[in-house]
Each structure stands twice: as structure tokens, then as C-alpha cells.
Amino acid sequence: MLKTAVITDRDYLKHFAGRSHPERPERLQAMIEMVNASSRPGLQVRAPREATIEEIELCHVHEYLKLVQQTATVDRFDFDPDTHASRESYHTALLAAGGVITAVEAVMDGAADNAFAIVRPPGHHALPNRAMGFCLFNNVAIAAAWLIKHRGLKRVMIVDWDVHHGNGTQEMFYKSAAVLYASTHQYPHYPGTGSLREIGAGEGEGYTINAPMPADFGDDEYLRVFDDFILPIGRQFKPEFILVSSGFDCHWRDPLAQMRVTEEGFVAMTRRVKRLAAECCEGKMVAALEGGYDLEALVNSGHAVLEELGRFADEPIHSAQQGTAVMPIIERAARNVGRFWNLA
């Protein structure tokens, strides 16, 4: 089995967004219990560290950081109708960003083959200057920027299979050729971004690849997008590290969306990303928890991904044979970025 570092902590339960809020502490409680019950060989459970101010400011402007800091002085702060903070949220958000960096450090330093950062609050909607969509700091984006600044990497790939488009992550690297951002998401759906026309700008043109899909698509369609669109571009990009924004809200049980992905679908996507990492960057990859709001689906899917991370990359991958309904989307997406990548 491969060595997988799991980065998590009960301190993630301290962020409280509201009594009826879907992004609730019970999500992490259930995931921690799943990890503690696992007997998987090669599992290393590690505590996260807080991200530093300098690390947060790799992706967020100073004025916004100060605003989040100030929420530690009040019982409740509302950034928008969906995104709230309590007194403990600022430090919990620092721990979430730092948890993904902790996972990246473990893999980069050779202490683990790969890692799963089970953190909250999630991050991929957080913009440089504002909170959004339950997210305060953009955990995965900060880790990508950290790899570039502090470890000197030139090419980092972010795969985002959360059901909602990661508008914050996209915006942070929209003009950068150092980060390839690839997103599968329900569309139209919150937050309204992630259309086929959004492919990056300036030096980053062609380095944002979106696969917006209608409701009710499931495993077959997702795997077809991976096999025919995301993975071929990933192989040409040759990432030195792969980060996964691992939201489990595209599961068929999730209450906030209408996709049909199963636990087996998450395993198959993980296996594909793991194979790409083995081909391009000696297996260096970290998954970080984003969404997922049905506790049963969250735990079962998280467990499936954790088990798959432990398997060697030479496990067989069966190409997607079904999912033909997604082919028009793939063909349009390929035309939009065809001058940057060979998708023949």
C-alpha cells in the first residue's frame, strides 16, 4: 500500500456558520470518525498547522485578511447570505489553509506518497477580496501558490470535481500559465461561472479548462470528461504536483445539487488522477475536502477515496465506454482550447 497522510483535527469543528447551515461541524466529525475507524495500512494521521499571514496573502489581499481577522471579535459575522463566521472561524480558516499546506509538505518532503486534507471551512469559492459560498480562505489555491513560491514549482495542476464551479480558484490563476485549473461542475448552478467560454486570459489563456454539465449526469459522463478532455491536457501540461478540490456534493444523495455520481465514480476519478500523477510527478498529489452535505454520502465517498489513494498506480483503469450524452460538451470545450492543446 502507498503511504497516505491524512491531515485533520477536531479543531475544525469550532467554525460555526449557523444551526441550520449545510456546512456544519458534523461533516468533519463524521469524517474524523471514519478515519479513526480505518485499518488501512500506510495511513498516517497528522495534525495541521495554521497558515501564516504571508501564506494567506499569496492569494488574498491584505484588507480582506484584516476583515476576516476582525470576525474573531464578534459572536457572528455575515459575509453574505450563505457565508457566515463565528468567533473561532478565523483561526479555523487559518488551520484549513494550513492543513492543505501541511499535506503538501508531507508529500513534497517524502514523508507520504500522497495525502488527503480533511479540512473545513471549504475554500474554492473564496475570492482574493471576499468570502463566498461557505468559503473564507481558498485552501487549495493557497497551497498551489505556496508550491510555486516556496518550492519553486513551475507547473501545478488543480482538478476540481466539486459539484459547484470553483470560481475563486479560477479567478486567482486565470492569467497564469503556472497553474492548470480543470473543473467538472453542474451548470447552470451556483455560482454561475464555469462556462465553456472561460479558458483563461493573457499568459493563462488555455490554462483554465471547464466542463460544465447539466443535472443528472453521473459516473459515465464524468469519466468520459476525464478520459477525453482533462487527462489528455494534463499529460501535455506535465504537472509537477496535482491538487484535487475533492467535493463530494456531486454524489447522487447530496441535497444541494442534482448530479448522480456514486462512490465507484469517485474511486474511478481518483484512480485516473493518481495515474496522471504517477506518469508526470512521481505520484505527488493531495486531495482536499471541499463540499459534500449528506453525511452518509460524504463518509462513504471519503472512505472510498482514502482507500484508493493507498493502492498502487498500476491498478487497471477501464476507459469510459458510456456517457455519450456528454460528448457535445467535450467537443465544444476541445474546440475552445484546441489551439493550446492537442486533443485530436
Convert the chain into a string of H (helix), E (strand) and C (coil): CCCEEEECCHHHHHCCCCCCCCCCHHHHHHHHHHHHHCCCCCEEEECCCCCCHHHHCCCCCHHHHHHHHHHHHCCCEECCCCCEECCCHHHHHHHHHHHHHHHHHHHHCCCCCEEEECCCCCCCCCECCECECCECCCHHHHHHHHHHHHCCCCCEEEEECCCCCCHHHHHHCCCCCCEEEEEEEECCCCCCCCCCCCCCCHHHCCCEEEEEECCCCEHHHHHHHHHHHHHHHHHHHCCCEEEEEECCCCECCCCCCCCEECHHHHHHHHHHHHHHHHHHHCCCEEEEECCCCCHHHHHHHHHHHHHHHHCCCCCCCCCCCCCHHHHHHHHHHHHHHCCCCCCC
Residues with a catalytic annotation lie at 125
